[in-house]
A and B are shown apart, each in its own frame.
Chain A
Amino acid sequence: AQSVAQPEDQVNVAEGNPLTVKCTYSVSGNPYLFWYVQYPNRGLQFLLKYITGDNLVKGSYGFEAEFNKSQTSFHLKKPSALVSDSALYFCAVKIRGYQKVTFGTGTKLQVIP
């Protein structure tokens, strides 16, 4: 079984400030974790993934995420938010060896100028 929780429906942050979008997961095996971004009227875009190795993974557009096994979290972060980062962000998880990816319900990020 696998599930993902994104506890915040919306996150507001001022432009230039650091941002964090939270994600926790539950799996019955070794997790592969992903973040995707969805801009209005556009498809989902892959941002970054964690499979193994360093707990801090870097992805597109300056985003990074930290895998924390003890807290079963995979929070998305960026040091300095841009207005253009405003979008819907989805955390996702799969179990190694299985194909099904489970997505969270999404967090709307609003970066305020």
Chain B
Amino acid sequence: GAGVSQTPSNKVTEKGKYVELRCDPISGHTALYWYRQSLGQGPEFLIYFQGTGAADDSGLPNDRFFAVRPEGSVSTLKIQRTERGDSAVYLCASSLGIGGDYGYTFGSGTRLTVV
């Protein structure tokens, strides 16, 4: 597609539930990133994929968070046993080449609200 597509745009879930957030990057972009943006803060790095593999997952806050990119295109961020503190906008970005040296193209994000 023309841009990075994220679905759903909004997700409300109950505490303790499992959620999946989807990201469809720009065609041909091999690098894919997940960030989390809390209210009043800048985006916080979660995980980076180069192709199918997670090259850097050092930003995942704990083992309730997991992300996959099985075919090197679409990625899914999975959150188990959601907590109210997980409420944030989850941003996906893709870039041409390695390392985001050319800058990212971000999606519009998924606003996750845990009640």
Hey, which bits of chain A sit against chain B, CB under 8 A? 4, 32, 34, 36, 42-46, 49, 51, 90, 92, 94, 97-106
Give the interface segment out of B13-21, B65-73, B80-88, B96-104.
B96-104
Query: Complex formed: what's the CA distance from A34 to B109 in Å?
Result: 20
The binding surface of chain B is classed by DSSP as loop
Residues of A near B59 (CB, < 8 A) are 100
Residues of A near B43 (CB, < 8 A) are 44, 90, 103
Query: Complex formed: what's the CA distance from A24 to B102 in Å?
Result: 20
> Is there an interface contact between B41 and A105, defined as CB atoms closer than 8 Å?
yes
Residues of A near B109 (CB, < 8 A) are 43
> Is there an interface contact between B42 and A43, defined as CB atoms closer than 8 Å?
no
> Is there an interface contact between B40 and A105, defined as CB atoms closer than 8 Å?
yes
User: Would A101 and B45 be within 8 Å (CB), given that A49-B102, A94-B100 are in contact?
Assistant: yes
Instruction: Please name 21 pairs of A and B residues whose Cβ atoms are closer than 8 Å in the assembled complex, sorted by A.
Output: A4-B42, A36-B104, A36-B106, A43-B108, A44-B43, A44-B93, A46-B104, A49-B101, A94-B100, A99-B50, A99-B55, A99-B98, A100-B56, A100-B58, A101-B33, A102-B45, A103-B35, A103-B42, A103-B44, A106-B40, A106-B41
> Is there an interface contact between B91 and A43, defined as CB atoms closer than 8 Å?
yes
> Is there an interface contact between B105 and A46, defined as CB atoms closer than 8 Å?
yes
Residues of A near B33 (CB, < 8 A) are 99, 101
> Per a CB cutoff under 8 Å, which of A51, A98, A101 touches B104?
A101
Hey, which bits of chain B sit against chain A, CB under 8 A? 4, 31, 33, 35, 40-45, 48, 50, 55-56, 58-59, 91, 93, 98-109
The chain B residue sitting closest to A49, CB to CB, is B103
Q: A46-B103, A103-B44 are in contact. List 18 more A-B contacts (CB 8 A).
A: A4-B42, A36-B103, A43-B108, A49-B101, A51-B101, A90-B42, A92-B42, A99-B31, A99-B56, A99-B100, A100-B56, A100-B58, A100-B59, A101-B45, A101-B100, A103-B35, A103-B43, A104-B42
